[in-house]
Structure 1
């Protein structure tokens, strides 16, 4: 997949948007890339959309963009691999550097670092598939249930879009949930479920300082799974979230603290649950947030006092300036 814009304003950075790849989230990535490219083109930037394949580096050498915006979701797009490659070829890019991506993309590692920093995150256990084979699935699951209790969230330790995620409210649901989880990775994160309002808060860097965009509240008919995220009708979104001033401060402060603690850059999105006591619990952070028509980052950006295009152009312009 390769697209080139018509002549754009060359006084602004030229951009190569990377979308696609080979992860389970390829289709979402392509939709994200096309949407961002459209906004940037409408703002007058010269934009190319490139897939992550054997032609990527030759295309980059030919195009010589001022900056790359990686919108490859999952695996190599968010675990630092793609960022390391861009560092090797010396191309500035939007988003966190490779080391920070590696920390953030592993849910157990991110949760451990944030808990160490004093930020609330639900109790959990991260267990590889090999442990279930060697010790026995029944014994391991019994220990998990005794310690963490029910309900539980079972999810792959890496990856996004809620793929392989199951909420478990009874013992007999655990084995099937583990099978679904291991279809998307070798390590399972079993996390105590927290009840409350599901909220996503996106963060952008403004003049070197992280700033939270308006919070997005998610109300779903059933679990907020892959279908509910990307097929209109299953979920309802409220932007800004229907929170009072104190609750709004709590969720925005948590998102900015996550961004800072993990050393993230330019853009991130933190998913959380706000419980009845007003405590915001960290669930996950995304270093390459979805940018589709139903994604949460664009909804937050549209609700911001600034124009969506201005936010995207500023993100690109900031990334194009080498530190």
Structure 2
């Protein structure tokens, strides 16, 4: 009997448009002979299942089920592909834990930790993971331009501490741009992080681990003529993504080992992706950990899976079936 898989998309942030594209990608990747697939929309207006006929069918939150074509469908598994709240910060994970429904992403604590860039990087730094210098601002807090420049120098990045897809992110080049950039970031998130700029080669590395198996993917090198890897670079094609990255075997292996180590330090599960910047003649610096990475047909993870000579359908099946073994 086929299991019912809900691909959960949407969310409450500006990243909803990216989430919907990822859901379509995952739908195209998953094994339709093995699973019944449904796209479930979790929005601030309600939770619904997208019906092929076009209508939105309400989800019963008490049981995470829906009545489709006159029959109750109980979802057996949740593949979370919400970028931002509530799918990337542990809220949905806690909901599924309470219902006893297995899901694809990291657990509650890891999701909450990695969603807060400042807290995550500060935590990992205690294990010797190189990270950029940063300042965190909570609601109502402020920082002077002089302190920012003294601690972080120019240029620097200002971005929401609890967001992604580069929404609300500014590369600040002058002291006069600092406060407007902070206001812009606060308009997108509840916290703001100011981060030192590191000039170098940007790469990203995906990883997953299941019972008896570890898979760290080839790296992707990110090259753009934009000021940084912004929304247009990520989603409007203003970037070259080179997989595998043009790095030495030694440096590639070093970053892959670091990715695997961070996975274990955090106690991650499912697919994660870690972004790095490599300064010239310097140690790779970790930028951030993504626990619900983009999964469109052109996203980094599918590229890396292909470069590793693997089948994305088999990878996702392994991840799903591993969760059923653990539950």
Q: Give me the TM-score of the superposition, normalised by structure 2.
A: 0.88
User: Shift of residue 41 of structure 1?
Assistant: 4.2
Of 123, 143, 162 in structure 2, the residue corresponding to residue 113 of structure 1 is 123
Is contact 1:251–1:274 with CA below 8 Å preserved after alignment?
no
In the alignment, the residues of structure 1 paired with residue 282 and residue 154 of structure 2 have an alpha-carbon distance, to the nearest angstrom, of 22
8 Å contact from structure 1 (residues 204, 211) kept in 2: yes
- 1:48 pairs with 2:38: yes
Say if 1:43 and 1:309, in contact at 8 Å, map to a contact too. no
Q: Distance in 1 between matches of 2:282 and 2:258?
A: 12
Q: For 1:312 and 1:43, how far apart are their aligned partners in 2?
A: 14
Equivalent residues of 1:201, 1:269 under 8 A apart = yes
CA contact (8 A) 2:25 2:296 kept: yes
- 1:302 maps to 306
Partner residue of 2:175? 171
Alignment root-mean-square deviation, CA: 1.8
Alignment partner, residue 281 of structure 2: 277
Q: Higher mean Cα deviation, 93-102 or 48-57? A: 48-57
Distance (whole Å) between structure 1 residues aligned to residue 93 and residue 20 of structure 2: 18
* Residue 87 (structure 1) shift: 1.0
Task: State whether structure 2 residue 143 is matched by structure 1 residue 126.
Answer: no
The alpha carbon displacement at 1:278 in A equals 4.5
Number of residue pairs the alignment of both structures matches: 306
1:212 is matched with 216
1:208 deviation in Å? Answer: 5.0
Change (3 A) 1:172 1:25: same
Partner of 2:52: none
Residues 144-293 of structure 1: pairs in structure 2 closer than 5 A? 144-207=148-211, 210-222=214-226, 223-232=228-237, 234-293=238-297
Q: Which stretch shifts more, 296-305 or 97-106?
A: 296-305
CA distance in 2, matches of 1:280, 1:208: 28
Structure 1 residue runs of 5 or longer lacking an equivalent are 1-9
Separation of aligned partners in 2, 1:291 and 1:162: 17
Relative distance call for 1:116 and 1:56 in structure 2 (3 A) is farther
Shift of 1:42: 4.9
Q: Which has the higher strand share?
A: 2
Q: TM-score, normalised by structure 1?
A: 0.89
* Deviation string, structure 1 residues 262-294 (Cα, Å, up to 9, x no partner): 221111111110121241111111111111133
Matched, 1:71 2:81: yes
Deviates more, 1:27-36 or 1:299-308: 299-308
Cα 1:129–1:302 change in 2 (3 A) is: same
Corresponding residue number in structure 2 for 1:14: 4
The CA deviation string for residues 168-194 of structure 1, in whole angstroms up to 9 with x for no partner, is 122122122212211111321111111
Show structure 2 runs of 5+ residues with no match. 48-57, 66-71
